[in-house]
């Protein structure tokens, strides 16, 4: 039994057969299912969680932040051997259900090797132009709203499929202030559906980290998984509460033939000619590492020794500009971005990262982080604050790794890299917020425990000695195994990863249709 699961497993084994098995239903797996549903193939989506119900608790900060209603109860083990609560969610749609829906393209420069303050971020095996048509499709599919032509780091592109969300009056004042400082603020690209329409987004203050109660957020459950099941005319099946425990290969070790799925207190053997692993960067690596065999003694598809290695997460700091006499009346605040320091800092030549306004902090969220202070004090504070997220690129390092122990438990050994550049970005943002009229700036970071933007654990590349997957995310070692989630990132850039996972999933789906079906 895998950690975090309740009940007793019996060893009864039943076999099922499908044309394609997709493990995980988040950004990667959900999008793959959607893109492959039209083929008429018999597809099984295996998802360890359930549907997130539409309920009042969806938008209740107490339920989401204090009671952690939707996060996994699983515990992972950090580099010191201590257990910690990973900030991750197991449900249909995966972490996209809780995301802020900031759907960015990587910058053109992110695809090349880039010198950072603390090292080099490696090149990707594909360039921006290869992914650009899939970014176009990904933005249409996930209904991305934005305005092109302002962001100084924006790669070549046409207009966004939908107009940007208008800024509140308060954020307009901030934008004018940023422009006076010589910066180039632009509308944050967001996947939000039908704002202002009867059944659409109500632009609430519980979006990022909350599930959308009215299903207006562009996330993999609503945009991909449910439509895939409808489009599949009975050919696309979703098994919820079903956890892939292990993959088996044939005697040559070059083809996966079956997966063990733990479901309804039994282990079901699922056979298929094609397996797509999309369990998220940490769980996908863990699944491969658990799937050892005589042919794959270090874990499946791991002849390079890179499965689970070079784990990355963004260096992310939440910042709040605070003025004791200024009440912030903005409800939907997450509309502004600044990339002026993405490729070089104001006072040095190194890339620092991105700045974006963030959803409103609630008193309960702050109290969940530091419980000692009374809630009324937090409430008074957050009403007078404007929230920002600053994000810098992490750099891959062999010592940063996902591993599994003999009990199958996940170990995440991680120390952030490139911290000097991030500290400079935080300092620069503080300076900006003070000049905008916020004398007090409060910062908070989840540090090494921030697993939200996990990536890099089964990197794609050209050379099988230097990568786990080829440029279409097929395992170098196993001809019918694809890994399509955050795992494939050779570098993590400094913008949110979701749209890139989706775009690559659409690209891989096209490749599979042309070569495997």
Q: Which is nearer to ligand SF4, 106 or 192 (CB)?
A: 192
Using CB under 6 A, pick the residue from 211, 359, 416, 498 that binds ligand FAD: 498
Residue 369 token pair: 């982080």
Cα–Cα distance, 211 to 55 (Å, whole number): 10
Residue 218 CB, shortest distance to ligand FAD, in Å, is: 10
Q: Indicate whether 207 belongs to the interface with ligand SF4 (CB under 6 A).
A: yes
Nearest to 86, CA basis, from 96, 76, 94 = 76
SS (H, E, C) 384-397: CEEEEEEEECCCCC
Binding map of ligand SF4 across residues 342-381, x = CB under 6 A, - = no contact:
----------------------------------------
Q: Going by DSSP bridges, is the β-strand pair 162-163/144-146 parallel, antiparallel, or unpaired?
A: parallel
Q: What is the dihedral of CA 226, 511, 314, 301, to 10 degrees?
A: 110
Q: Which is nearer to ligand SF4, 65 or 124 (CB)?
A: 65
Look at residues 231, 232, 212 and name the one whose alpha carbon lies nearest to residue 222. Answer: 212
Q: Which does 363 bind (CB under 5 to 8 A by kind): ligand FAD, ligand SF4, none?
A: none
- Candidates 23, 64, 144, 201; binder of ligand SF4 (CB under 6 A) is 201
Residue 312 neighbours by CB under 8 Å, 6+ apart: 394, 395, 396, 400, 454, 455, 456, 489, 491, 492
- Residue 471 tokens, joined: 């440029």
The residue ranges of DSSP E strands in 350-479, in sequence order, are 354-357, 385-392, 401-404, 410-413, 440-444
Report the greatest alpha carbon distance in the chain: 71
Stretch that binds ligand FAD, among 3-11, 273-281, 301-309, 340-348 (CB under 6 A): 273-281
Which 437-496 positions form the footprint of ligand FAD (CB under 6 A)? 452-453, 485-486, 496
Select from 77, 126, 181, 214 the one that contacts ligand SF4 (CB under 6 A).
Answer: 214
Binding region for ligand SF4 (CB under 6 A) out of 212-220, 268-276, 475-483, 500-508: 212-220
Q: Is 96 an interacting residue with respect to ligand FAD (CB under 6 A)?
A: yes
Residue 212 makes contact with ligand SF4 by CB under 6 A: yes
Give least dist CB 59 to ligand SF4, A: 7
Residue 492 backbone dihedrals phi, psi, to 5 degrees: -105, 0
Is 270 among the residues that bind ligand FAD (CB under 6 A)?
Answer: no
Which CB, 165 or 421, lies closer to ligand SF4?
165
- Using only C-alpha atoms, the chain has a radius of gyration, in whole angstroms, of 22
Site residues (CB under 6 A) for ligand SF4?
Answer: 192, 201-204, 207, 212, 214, 216-217, 332
């Amino acid at each position: 039994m895998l950690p975090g699961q309740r009940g007793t497993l019996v060893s009864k084994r039943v076999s099922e057969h499908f044309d394609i098995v997709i493990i995980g239903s988040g950004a990667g797996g959900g999008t793959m299912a959607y893109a492959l549903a039209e083929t008429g193939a018999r597809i099984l989506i295996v998802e360890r969680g359930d549907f997130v119900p539409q309920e009042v608790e969806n938008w209740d900060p107490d339920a989401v932040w204090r009671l952690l209603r939707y996060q996994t109860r699983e515990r992972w083990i950090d580099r010191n051997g201590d257990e910690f609560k990973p900030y991750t969610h197991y449900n249909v749609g995966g972490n996209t259900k809780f995301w802020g829906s900031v759907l960015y393209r990587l910058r053109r420069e992110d695809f090349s090797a880039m010198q950072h303050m603390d090292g080099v971020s490696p090149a990707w095996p594909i360039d921006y132009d290869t992914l650009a048509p899939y970014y176009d499709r990904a933005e249409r599919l996930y209904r991305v709203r934005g305005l092109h032509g302002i962001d100084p780091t924006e790669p070549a592109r046409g207009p966004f499929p939908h107009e940007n969300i208008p800024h509140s009056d308060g954020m307009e004042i901030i934008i004018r202030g940023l422009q006076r400082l010589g910066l180039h603020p632009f509308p944050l690209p967001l996947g939000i559906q039908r704002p202002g329409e009867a059944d659409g987004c109500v632009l609430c203050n519980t979006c990022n980290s909350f599930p959308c109660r009215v299903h207006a957020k562009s996330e993999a459950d609503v945009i991909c998984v449910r439509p895939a099941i409808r489009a599949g005319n009975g050919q696309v099946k979703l098994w919820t509460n079903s956890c892939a425990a292990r993959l088996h290969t044939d005697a040559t070790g070059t083809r996966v033939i079956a997966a063990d799925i733990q479901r309804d207190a039994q282990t079901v053997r699922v056979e298929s000619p094609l397996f797509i692993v999309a369990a998220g960067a940490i769980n996908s690596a863990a699944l491969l590492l658990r799937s050892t065999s005589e042919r794959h003694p270090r874990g499946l598809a791991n002849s390079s020794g890179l499965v689970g290695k070079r784990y990355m997460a963004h260096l992310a700091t939440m910042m709040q500009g605070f003025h004791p006499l200024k009440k912030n009346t903005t409800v939907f605040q997450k509309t502004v971005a600044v990339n002026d320091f993405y490729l070089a800092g104001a006072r040095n030549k190194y890339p620092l990262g991105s700045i974006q306004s963030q959803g409103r902090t609630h008193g309960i969220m702050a109290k969940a982080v530091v419980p000692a202070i009374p809630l009324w004090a937090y409430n008074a504070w957050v009403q007078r604050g404007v929230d920002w997220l600053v994000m810098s690129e992490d750099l891959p390092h062999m010592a940063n790794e996902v591993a599994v122990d003999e009990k199958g438990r996940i170990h995440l050994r991680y120390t952030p890299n490139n911290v000097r550049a991030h500290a400079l970005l935080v300092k620069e943002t503080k300076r900006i917020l003070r000049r905008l009229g916020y004398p007090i700036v409060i910062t908070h970071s989840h540090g090494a425990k921030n697993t939200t933007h996990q990536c890099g654990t089964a990197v794609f590349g050209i050379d099988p000695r230097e990568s786990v997957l080829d440029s279409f995310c097929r395992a170098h070692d196993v001809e019918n195994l694809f890994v399509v989630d955050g795992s494939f990132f050779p570098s993590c850039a400094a913008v949110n990863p979701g749209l890139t996972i989706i775009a690559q999933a659409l690209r891989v789906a096209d490749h599979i249709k042309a070569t495997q079906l």
